[in-house]
Amino acid sequence: MTADLPASQISHAPLAGVIGMPIAHSRSPRLHGHWLAHYGLAGHYVPIPVMPEHLAEVLRVLPRAGFVGANVTIPHKEAVLTLADTVTDRAALIGAANTLIFRPDGKIHADNTDGYGFVANLRQNAPDWQPSLGPAAVIGAGGAARAVVASLLDCGVRELRIANRTRLRAEQIKAEFGARLVVYDWAHLGNMLEGATTVVNATSLGMQGKQPLRFPLDALSPDALVTDLVYTPLMTPFLNEAAARGCRVVDGLGMLLHQAAPGFERWFGQRPEVDDQARQVVQG
Chain residues binding ligand NAP by CB under 6 A are: 114, 117, 140-145, 164-166, 169, 202-205, 207, 211, 229-231, 252, 255-256, 259
CA atoms within 13 A on the CB side of 221: 15
| Comparison of 133 and 235: residue with beta carbon closer to ligand NAP | 235
Identify whether the C-beta of residue 28 lies closer than 8 Å to the C-beta of residue 260: yes
Q: How far is the CB of 116 from ligand NAP (least distance, A)?
A: 11
Q: How far is the CB of 186 from ligand NAP (least distance, A)?
A: 7
Name the percent of the chain in helix, strand, coil, to the closest 5. Answer: 40, 20, 40
| Comparison of 157 and 274: residue with beta carbon closer to ligand NAP | 274
Pairing outcome for strands 99-102 and 108-111:
antiparallel
The arrangement of strands across the sheet holding 225-228 comes to: 181-183, 160-163, 136-139, 198-201, 225-228, 248-250
| Comparison of 72 and 101: residue with beta carbon closer to ligand NAP | 72
Nearest Cα residue to 42 out of 75, 18, 10, 5: 10
Identify whether the C-beta of residue 238 lies closer than 8 Å to the C-beta of residue 201: yes
Mind telling me the catalytic residues?
77
CA 162 to chain centre: 18
| Comparison of 125 and 221: residue with beta carbon closer to ligand NAP | 125
Q: What is the largest CA-CA distance in the chain?
A: 67
Q: Give the nearest residue (CB) to ligand NAP.
A: 142
